[in-house]
Amino acid sequence: MYYEALKAGVPLRSREEINSQEFAALKNQFDIPTELLEAYNSYWSDSNIKSNASGKDGVLDMIHQHTRQYLRWRKALPTKVDLQNRDFFSAATNLDKNQLREPQEDLVEQVNAIRTSLQSPLKTVSTEAMLGLLSPVTALMYAWEHRPTSGDTRELFSAVTESADVPKGVQELFNHYLHDSRAGFRLPTNMEPQDITGGYLRYRNVYRNSHEQTVASASQDSRGSLNAEVAQDALAGTGEGATV
């Protein structure tokens, strides 16, 4: 990235300048503290995740293992009370505390909704018939709200609800050094809606499905332009954008 930026003409400092006495104070700001390095190494050793993955499949498998490990750690934060007893929460500003509470409560609601969905499947003959009776917009919204639960979501749901011990190294790194992007990313002041993005229950991925992009970018007023075909796909469980 550094090399490509220099080629493109970005005015970055050269390695010689960075290592010069003139920029010593600035360079020190990028030093990695010993405590962080130790916590990082302990995470790798305690999590038993291999760090030598290669190729697409190897990298994806490593990402999946990290995600499941993270969700097991979030399982250790089942309630607001427990969250408020954590050191990182106590040290946060009032604004940050509110932004930490919100996604945790949202995760609890999401898990409860998925549990209910798995226990009471809503994909029935009567639901199919409703598409012919409701308006296209209402049918689309109904189909989206009752779309099938994807295999990935089921897998991550299991990770966040199972009773599994969280290794000490994992707890230390996440408790003291983790940036919660779900809590921090705002549009502009609210979190990303988990019914569109998947919330915490998603793997890192590259989204190229036109239905997902359409639904994610549509406003409440403009969703009427989304046709019933998308709703049919959602109810049928077909298409990459059809599952939660």
Rounded to 5 degrees, what angle do the CA atoms 204, 206, 209 make?
125
Cβ-proximal residues to 161 (8 Å cutoff; 6+ apart), any chain: 75, 111, 115
Q: How far apart are CA 77 and CA 103, in angstroms?
A: 11
Q: What's the confidence (pLDDT) of residue 238?
A: 46
Q: Which two tokens stand for residue 197?
A: 């993005």
Element (H, E) at 143: helix 136-145
3-state secondary structure of 244: coil
Q: What's the confidence (pLDDT) of residue 132?
A: 60
**Which parts of the chain have pLDDT scores under 70?**
76-81, 120-136, 138-146, 205-244
Q: How far apart are CA 101 and CA 34, in angstroms?
A: 30
Closest CA to 231 of 153, 142, 135, 148: 142
**Which regions of 37-152 does DSSP assign to beta strands (E)?**
none
CB contact at 8 A, 69 and 170 = yes
For residue 166, give the amino acid letter.
Answer: V
